[in-house]
Structure formats: structure tokens, C-alpha cells
Structure 1
Amino acid sequence: MLVTVSGLPGSGTTTAAKLLAEKYGVEMISAGDVFRTLAKENSMSLAEFGKLAESDPSIDRMIDERQKKIATERDNIILEGRLAGHMAQDALRIWLHAPQEERVRRIVEREGSSFEIRLSETVERELSEAVRYQEIHGIDIGDLSIYSLVIDSTTWDPNGICMIISAAIDGAGGFS
């Protein structure tokens, strides 16, 4: 079984994916991990590779192709990332949603800085990513119709979210 966990920054995807991987004893692969691997393969720091990705759409394509490859070649994994649901064809696709203010509050809690600075950065990042996703893949990140389950991550704590996703995983036959 392949499960994808997607959502905007601060929605709780990494936390949920890690908890699920631990519960089921399966590997969790994040788009961030793929990004770090590609940076290393290109002998670049994360900051250098990130700067390159801003001006070179082939970086996004490489990350997406790597996720597609992982999704088609491996079984019993959890793939976490903003576009993971779009990159995996036969998967239980989960989207975690949270209002922007809550997501920014979580980002500030996790990474520091002021709410105003992180809000500005988040708005800019999300607008930029939405344009890139549309231009590169024809994906409207706001269209959640491909997802099997959409969960508001402000309603439940991480364990509650994992219980909901676990019910969906188990109902779909679970990991083999």
C-alpha cells in the first residue's frame, strides 16, 4: 500500500506521516528528503540548491520525477509532500488542511521569528509555488478533488489525525 500525506506548510503533514510510519513500521519519504538527496547529489548545500530551484524549474521536475519513481517502484511506504498526492497514482491520498493563520503560528513555534515576518514569507512562498505548480504540471493546488480524505488539522491533535488516517488505511486493506 502507498499512502500520501500532503498539505500546505504548517498543516502537520510531516508530523502525521512520521507518526503513521512509526505505527505501521513502514518507511516515510518526504519531498524534503528528496530535495536534500538531490542537493547532495549535485554537491550543493541546501541553501544553494534552494536558490537554484527558485530560478530553474527543472529542479521541481527532478523532485517530482523522483517522487513518481519512488511511488511506482516501492510498496508499503508513506510519501509526504505538497504534491505527493499528484505524483502517486495508486495511493490512499490524504490532504491536511489548516487556516493560514494557524499554519503560520505553527511555523513560528517551530522555526522562530515574528508572526508578521513568517506570514509574509508564507504568503509569498505559497503564491510562488501555486504559480509554479500550475505552470510546470497544470496542477491547481487548491483543487482537493483527487484526495481520498481531507482533514482539518486544527480540529484534532496529531494522534487524533493519525487515528482518522489509520481507520482509512485499515479500511483500505492496510499495509502488507
Structure 2
Amino acid sequence: MSTGATTTVEIDTTLFITVSGPPGCGATTLCERLSDAIGCPYVSGGDIFRELAEDRGLNLNQLTAEADADDEIDRAIDGRLQSIAEKWGTANKPFILESRLAGWIAGDRADLRIWLDAPEDVRLERIEDRIETEPEMRVREVSEAGRYESYYEIDIDEREFYDLQLNTARWGKEGVFQVIRAAIEEYDPDADTGAFPTPELDP
């Protein structure tokens, strides 16, 4: 039986990995653990959004409202993430990119695209200690989905191109990590007969 305890793990890989999912899905926890195990950097779109809010003296809800009114904010963030994806997509070094649109932004440059999710009540419980409130989270999810559709004609619920989709409520943090670890370590490019193509995104 698993005790939920974490152990020191090293993962030898050169994969460019994207991790996406709604707030409270466990993406940050997974990325931090993977980054430590692989020994590689990762960039979070949420961190960039929060930094932008802080720079402007706004809370997340206020910046979300501004983003609804002005596409410059989203396009600037997504353009920065795309530049990062382009850089690491040709580096042949391990890297992790995390954001709701990371899989779309990285596209075929990514070696492994992951979507994490969990039932809404589980996700709400996970964000209880965050600055962002439950109503703000709901507003942000709906607002982001609408903006993605408006700006890029993206349906965030279209997920067939993700290589892995995982309900993180079914495993503990260590279990989620071990599932993803196994996928990374068992990946054999010679046995890879093809990923689903990702439509091009133009921020």
C-alpha cells in the first residue's frame, strides 16, 4: 500500500513536456516534482500572469477583467510562451512548459503533451488556501475559455492531441508523479508511430 511519501527520484530524459489543465488540477505540484527529478527548468504561464498583475498593481480578477477588454494582455503572454517553446523545441534538452494553452502553444515542438484535471469540488478544495477565491476561479475559467475561442478559435475542451489525460483525484500526488514518470521513462522514439497533429496557434 502506498504511504504517499515521496522519494528521491532521477529521470534521465531530453523530452520537452507540456502540462495543462484548469486551476486546482495539480499541474504546479507535478511540474515542480518533474523539474526536480529531471533536473530541468520549467516555465508557468500562471506565474507570468501573476507577475503581470503584480506589476500593474492588480489582483487576478482585475487583470482578468482587463484581459477580457484588451487582447494585448493575453497575446503578450502567449507570444512569450510561444517564443520559449520555439527555443526549447530545438534544444534537445529537457524542459517543462505549463499553462492552459501549453499544448496548443508548443504544438508539434513538444515531445509529450499532458492534460490534468479533477472534479470541480476537488479542485475547489485544493485552492482554498490560495489568494484566488472560488468565484474568481470560476470567472477566470469561463473568461479564459471565451478569450481562447475569440482570439484563436480554440475550443479548450478539444483534447484529442494530448498524449496523456489524467484525473488527478484518482491518485495522490506521488501516484500522479509515478504515472507520468513511467510514461516518460518508457517513451521510445523509435516505437513512436505518430502524435495527433496540433493546429497552429498565432498569438
TM range (shorter): 0.7 to 0.9
Cα 1:3–1:44 change in 2 (3 A) is same
Q: 1:140-155 to 2 correspondence within 5 Å?
A: 140-155=155-170
CA distance in 2, matches of 1:61, 1:27: 23
* SS class of match (2:59): helix
Identity %: 40
Contact 2:68 2:143 in 1 (8 A): no
Give the letter aligned to residue 178 of structure 2.
M
Q: Partner residue of 2:123?
A: 103
Question: Max radius of gyration: which structure?
Answer: 2
TM-score (ref. length: structure 1): 0.84
Q: 1:80-95 to 2 correspondence within 5 Å?
A: 80-89=98-107, 90-91=109-110, 92-95=112-115
Q: 2:44 aligns with which of 4, 23, 30?
A: 30
Contact 2:38 2:94 in 1 (8 A): no
Q: 2:172 aligns with which of 157, 160, 174?
A: 157
Q: 1:73 aligns with which of 87, 94, 116?
A: 87
CA distance in 2, matches of 1:122, 1:52: 16
In the TM superposition, residue 39 of structure 1 has moved relative to its aligned partner by 5.8
Give the letter aligned to residue 44 of structure 1.
R
Q: CA RMSD in A?
A: 2.4
Question: Which runs of 5 or more residues in structure 2 are unaligned?
Answer: 1-14, 190-203
Question: Which runs of 5 or more residues in structure 1 are unaligned?
Answer: none
Cα 1:124–1:47 change in 2 (3 A) is closer
What is the count of residue pairs matched by the alignment?
Answer: 167
CA distance in 2, matches of 1:80, 1:135: 22
Q: Report which of the two has the higher share of helix.
A: 1
Contact 1:5 1:93 in 2 (8 A): yes
Q: Which runs of 4+ in 1 moved over 3 A?
A: 36-40, 45-49
In the TM superposition, residue 35 of structure 1 has moved relative to its aligned partner by 2.7
CA distance in 1, matches of 2:169, 2:53: 33
